[in-house]
Amino acid sequence: MEEHKIENIELKYLTVNDFEELKSATLESYSGVLDSYWKKHHIEQLTTIFPKGQVVIKIDGNIAGCALSLIVDYDKIDDHHTYADIIQGDSFKIHDAEGDVLYGIDVFIKPEYRGLRLGRRLYDYRKEVCEELNLKGIVFGGRMPNYHKHKTLTPKEYIEKVKRKEIHDPVLNFQISNDFHPVRVLKGYLEGDTASNEYAVLMEWDNIYYTKKTKKASSVKTVVRLGLIQWQMRTYNSLEELMQQVEYFVDSVAAYRSDFALFPEFFNAPLMAKYNHMYEPDAIRELAKYTQVIVEKMQQLSISYNINIITGSMPELSDGKLYNVGYLCRRDGSLERYEKIHVTPDEAKVWGMQRGHKLQTFETDAGKIGILICYDSEFPELSRLLSDEGMDILFVPFLTDTQNGYSRVRLCAQARAIENECYVAIAGSVGNLPNVNNMDIQYAQSAVFTPCDFSFPSNGIKAEATTNTEMILVADVDLSLLRELHSFGAVKNLKDRRKDVYNVIRVKE
């Protein structure tokens, strides 16, 4: 078939009126296989119980290919089923409109039309139906038509060689190139399929947009709005005065309907000014006495302004030891604590800050998030562990005094976004505190970073604040784009990791 002779290609629902032409096209496509076509009553039944699942491709009005499907309850299918189990004596009783998986029972392209990528159109249509009906995915038993040439190999060995391109199998190669992956080998799947030695491969395609059906009210979002506070260090005469500024910023980002408000590391450091006459380790321990009160007030703000607040970080005493910690104040009133795992040499030397041990992801109504405080973002193992738990957004509250210190945080944050296929939001403080030892100057440019792929900014920067200026930064991030990236990105940093060569594991406590 010469492409320039084609005047019209259309995808249409199959009807009973197509039967005679479909029969002829089927016999041509399955040459040599007796009784290989569907009978008229089969077509009547299929187009009645599931019309969307039965389609044909017509070229200049003639049938060039066909795809037939059912909906099944995947849990009711035996792991080692046969084709006969699916069509059930041609009764199709396994079809379940309330099922969760699309099962392909037939697909073909007439020989004269092969090479025009029409099969891809049929598979793409099935994927669209799967997404539209919110099904988990597509499955079918894939033939191995060249297996009879390699009978010395086990089916598993044959599949592995096909995947490595050592053996060409037109069916398996095509399915794999269309994002289907082998699940298991099915023995005795299709009686009479001597080319495949009656073996088949259960192939599966996962719908990344699938959402589990629930009767509960849900407000989980796909487009999430981030509000970053680039905080100005200034003198405050009291805790109340500092909290007025905190509320001002919470109010500001909440007014833009932000889902998160992110504060910087040690944003409450100005309260140390009244203790500047003390030995520095004693001064920061006085500051730690404010932490619990600040957290309680921010918890109330998260409820009253309907926003999830990430409190940056503050010093906290626990069993007489000093830690750098922060809290996630969810807008439903719940509270979670996180710790800085790696303290800087300066924090340890000047204040006697202890290293934390707590690392976890947090479920929120706007995605699963991780939080790493400043220096922790420079250790890729931490974010990799969070990524393994399904993190969508990594928040990094930071405090840096010089531009080179800021650059370390920024560049590492950008790397975390790429290698973990997630969004990263960083927020820091600007200005100076001449009356607080070891907190003299600050340098910051808060920003939101993305992976670098076609659906994202080419430079991986979603938004960034003006350098060294007090302000808020508001940016939207689309979590559904991450789902697409995981499966269809130009590169797949998460899927392509060589876990057979190396891995990142937690140390058991």
374 is annotated as an active-site residue: yes
331's CB contacts (< 8 A; 6+ apart) are 302, 303, 305, 306, 307, 308, 365
DSSP string, 214-229: -SS-----SEEEEEEE
One-letter amino acid at 72 equals: V
Cα–Cα nearest to 359, from 394, 332, 330: 394
Structure tokens at 325: 């910690």
Element (H, E) at 171: helix 170-177
Residue 15 in contact with residue 54, Cβ under 8 Å?
Answer: no
* Annotated active-site residue in 66, 127, 280, 340: 340
With CA atoms as reference, report the closest residue to 342 among 354, 351, 352, 330: 354
Contact present, 366 and 330 (Cβ < 8 Å): no
Q: Given 66, 110, 130, 265, which residue is catalytic?
A: 265
The count of other CB atoms within 10 Å of the CB of residue 244 is 11
Q: For residues 289, 292, 297 and 300, what is the CA-based torsion angle, rounded to 10 degrees?
A: 180
CA-CA distance, 29 to 110, in Å (whole number)? 5
User: Is the torsion defined by CA of 406, 411, 414, 416 positive or negative?
Assistant: negative
Q: How far apart are CA 82 and CA 89, in angstroms?
A: 12
Q: How far apart are CA 206 and CA 320, in angstroms?
A: 51
Number of residues assigned to the chain:
509
Query: Residue 307 and residue 446: Cα distance in Å, rounded?
Result: 19
Tell me, rounded to whole angstroms, the distance of Cα 326 from its chain centroid: 25
d(CA 203, CA 21): 29
Candidates 393, 376, 277, 273; CA nearest to 328 is: 393
- Tell me which of 130, 329, 374, 412 is the catalytic residue: 374
335-339 and 321-329 strand pairing: antiparallel
Question: Quick one: residue 245, left, alpha or beta (phi over 0 = left, psi -120 to 50 = alpha)?
Answer: alpha
- Cα separation, 118 vs 124, whole angstroms: 10
User: Is the distance from CB of 484 to CB of 206 less than 8 angstroms?
Assistant: no
Residue 204 forms beta bridges with which residues? 139, 181
Tokens (6 digits) for 309: 């607040």
Beta bridge partners of 465: none
Question: Nearest Cα to 477, choosing from 328, 258, 302, 230?
Answer: 258
**What are the residue numbers of the active site?**
265, 340, 374
